[in-house]
């Protein structure tokens, strides 16, 4: 299932995506903390409380 975020400002979009990450990883196991990567985005991996693995990439808005 793919989740899409509502249309927001650039700052609001990153904040909303970060909030999704916090909720998704809550009660599960973070296998790679969300952090800035060499390609410029923030990336993290976790296994949610139901055992489903996730890879999350938060792209920085292109201006």
What is residue 18's predicted lDDT score, i.e. its pLDDT? 85
Contact 36, 28 (CB under 8 A): no
Nearest to 30, CA basis, from 47, 53, 10? 47
- Residue 32 sits at φ, ψ, to 5 deg, of -150, 115
Q: What is the pTM of this model?
A: 0.73
Contact 46, 34 (CB under 8 A): no
What is residue 62's predicted lDDT score, i.e. its pLDDT? 67
Task: Give the pLDDT confidence of 8-57 residue by residue, as tens digits.
Answer: 555 667 788 888 899 999 999 999 999 999 988 999 999 999 999 999 98
Using CA atoms, how far apart are residues 62 and 55, in angstroms rounded to an integer?
Answer: 21
């Amino acid at each position: 299932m793919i989740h899409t975020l509502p249309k927001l400002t650039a700052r609001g979009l990153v904040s909303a995506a970060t909030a999704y990450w916090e909720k998704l990883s809550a009660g599960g196991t973070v296998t790679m903390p969300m952090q800035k990567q060499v390609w410029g985005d923030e990336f993290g991996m976790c296994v949610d409380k139901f055992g489903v693995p996730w890879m999350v990439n938060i792209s920085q808005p292109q201006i």
